[in-house]
C-alpha cells in the first residue's frame, strides 16, 4: 500500500484528484496540526512513501526516520521551503508543478490591482458599516504595469493586463525575449521598472538571493502614486520600508499575499494602513489550480512508483 503524507491543505480535495487517489488505493495522511511548527509532519514521516509539500519547511531533520520515503513533491511551484540538498543526500527526487497555478496567481494579481485602484476594501467597509463614502479611484487601462519575474505567472499576467490596455515592462535575467517582443513587453532593469510603473507585481522565487529585493532604496525609485503587489514570498519585500513609504505618502498602496511568517504579526504598522490590502497566501487557491497541481503530483508519484524519473524532477542530475 502506498501512503502519501501531505502538508498542503488543498492537496487531494478538488476535482478529479480525490477519486484518482481512491482508485489507486493510496492512503492520504494530512499533517495539519496548527499547534505544531511542521503541522505534525514529523509524527507521520516514518509511514510515508511520498511527501507532498505545502508551505511548511522541509529540512534535513524533517527527513529523519523517513525510511520508506521515495520522493518529495511540491504541491505548487516555489521550492525555497525544501532543502533539496538534504533530499538529494537521501536519494529522494524533488518535483514541483510549474505552470499549474499560473493563471490563478495572475488573476489574483489583477484582482488586487482593481482593489487598490477602485478602493474596493474601503468601499465595502463603508457600506456595511452604514456609510456611503464614495472615493474616486483610477482606471487600469493605459497605466504601466511592471512585472518582476517573467516566468509562467509573469507571462500570464502580462497577457491579461494587455487585454486591459496596460503597458507592460518586465525584468528577468532569464526572460523569454521572443515572447516579450511578440507581446510588446519591454525588458528593462529592475530600477527602470520601479521608476516607470504605476503598478509593480512581484513574481520571483524566495530565498536568500531575493531577500529584501524591494527595500527602502528601491521604494524611493517608485512614483509616490504607484502600488506594489507581492505575490511571491514574504522575504522579497522589506515591510518596515513599505510601512515607512506609505506613512510618508511616498507609495500609493501595497497588496500582500505572502509574508515572512504565516499568519503574520498584524501588529506591524503596514497592516493598519488604509492603503494596504492583504490576502492569506491564496494566489494559487482556485479549484482549477489546485486540481491541476494535484493531477501533476499524482502523475509524478505514479512515475516514481513505475521506476521512472519524472520529467519535472529538479535534482535529476544529482541523483543520476
- Looking at the structure, tell me whether residues 133 and 274 fall in a common domain: yes
- Say whether both 14 and 66 belong to one domain: yes
How many domains in the chain?
2
What is the span of the domain harbouring residue 133?
Answer: 102-278
- Same domain? 54 vs 190: no
Q: Long-range contacts made by residues 103-107, C-beta under 8 angstroms, separation at least 24?
A: 103/156, 103/286, 103/288, 103/289, 104/283, 104/284, 104/285, 104/286, 104/288, 104/289, 105/153, 105/156, 105/157, 105/203, 105/231, 105/283, 105/284, 105/289, 106/153, 106/156, 106/157, 106/160, 107/160, 107/286
**Among all chains, which residue has been given the C-alpha cell 536519494?**
91
Is there a single domain that holds both residue 106 and residue 176?
yes
Helix (H) or strand (E) holding 42: helix 41-44
Same domain, 108 and 253: yes
Q: Please give the positions annotated as active site.
A: 233, 262, 281
Q: Are residues 72 and 111 in the same domain?
A: no
Q: Tens digit of pLDDT per residue, the chain (320 long)?
A: 999 999 999 999 999 999 999 999 999 999 988 788 888 999 999 999 999 999 999 999 999 999 999 999 999 999 999 999 999 999 999 999 999 999 999 999 999 999 999 999 999 999 999 999 999 999 999 999 999 999 999 999 999 999 999 999 999 999 999 999 999 999 999 999 999 999 999 999 998 899 999 999 999 999 999 999 999 999 999 999 999 999 999 999 999 999 999 999 999 999 999 999 999 999 999 999 999 999 999 999 999 999 999 999 999 999 97
Residue given cell 524611493 in the structure block? 220
Q: Residue 290 sits in a domain of what CATH number?
A: 3.40.50.720
- Whether 107 and 89 map to the same domain: the answer is no
| Alpha-carbon span 114 to 140, nearest angstrom | 8
How many angstroms separate the CA atoms of 36 and 39, rounded?
A: 5
Global confidence as pTM:
0.93
158: which residues sit within 8 A by CB, 6+ positions away? 145, 147, 150, 168, 170, 183, 185
Query: Quick one: 207 and 108 in the same domain?
Result: yes
Task: Count the alpha carbons within 13 Å of 219 in the hemisphere toward its beta carbon.
Answer: 26
Of 210, 207, 208, 160, residue with least CA distance to 185: 160
Residues 57 and 168 in one domain: no
Amino acid at each position: 500500500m502506498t501512503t502519501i503524507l501531505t502538508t498542503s491543505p488543498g492537496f487531494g480535495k478538488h476535482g478529479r484528484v480525490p477519486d484518482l487517489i481512491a482508485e489507486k488505493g493510496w492512503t492520504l495522511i494530512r499533517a495539519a496540526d496548527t499547534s505544531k511548527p511542521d503541522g505534525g509532519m514529523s509524527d507521520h514521516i516514518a509511514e510515508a512513501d511520498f511527501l507532498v509539500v505545502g508551505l511548511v519547511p522541509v529540512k534535513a531533520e524533517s527527513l529523519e526516520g523517513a525510511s520508506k520515503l521515495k520522493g518529495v513533491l511540491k504541491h505548487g511551484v516555489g521550492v525555497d521551503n525544501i532543502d533539496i540538498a538534504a533530499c538529494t543526500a537521501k536519494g529522494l527526487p524533488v518535483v514541483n508543478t510549474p505552470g499549474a497555478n499560473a493563471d490563478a496567481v495572475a488573476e489574483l494579481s489583477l484582482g488586487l490591482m482593481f482593489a487598490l485602484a477602485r478602493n474596493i476594501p474601503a468601499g465595502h467597509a463603508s457600506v456595511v458599516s452604514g456609510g456611503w463614502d464614495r472615493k474616486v479611484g483610477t482606471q487600469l487601462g493605459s497605466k504601466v504595469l511592471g512585472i518582476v519575474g517573467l516566468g509562467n505567472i509573469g507571462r500570464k499576467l502580462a497577457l491579461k493586463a494587455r487585454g486591459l490596455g496596460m503597458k507592460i515592462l518586465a525584468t528577468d535575467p532569464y526572460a523569454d525575449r521572443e515572447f516579450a517582443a511578440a507581446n510588446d513587453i519591454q525588458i528593462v532593469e529592475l530600477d527602470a521598472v520601479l521608476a516607470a510603473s504605476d503598478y509593480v507585481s512581484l513574481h520571483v522565487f524566495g530565498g536568500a538571493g531575493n531577500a529584501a529585493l524591494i527595500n527602502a532604496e528601491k521604494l524611493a525609485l517608485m512614483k509616490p502614486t504607484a502600488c506594489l503587489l507581492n505575490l511571491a514570498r514574504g522575504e522579497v519585500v522589506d515591510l518596515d520600508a513599505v510601512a515607512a513609504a506609505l506613512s510618508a505618502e511616498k507609495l500609493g498602496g501595497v497588496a500582500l499575499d505572502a509574508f515572512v511568517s504565516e499568519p503574520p504579526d498584524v501588529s506591524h504598522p503596514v497592516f493598519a494602513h488604509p492603503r494596504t490590502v492583504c490576502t492569506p497566501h491564496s494566489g494559487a487557491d482556485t479549484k482549477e489550480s489546485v486540481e491541476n497541481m494535484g493531477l501533476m503530483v499524482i502523475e509524478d508519484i505514479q512515475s516514481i512508483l513505475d521506476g521512472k524519473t519524472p520529467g519535472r524532477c529538479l535534482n535529476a542530475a544529482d541523483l543520476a
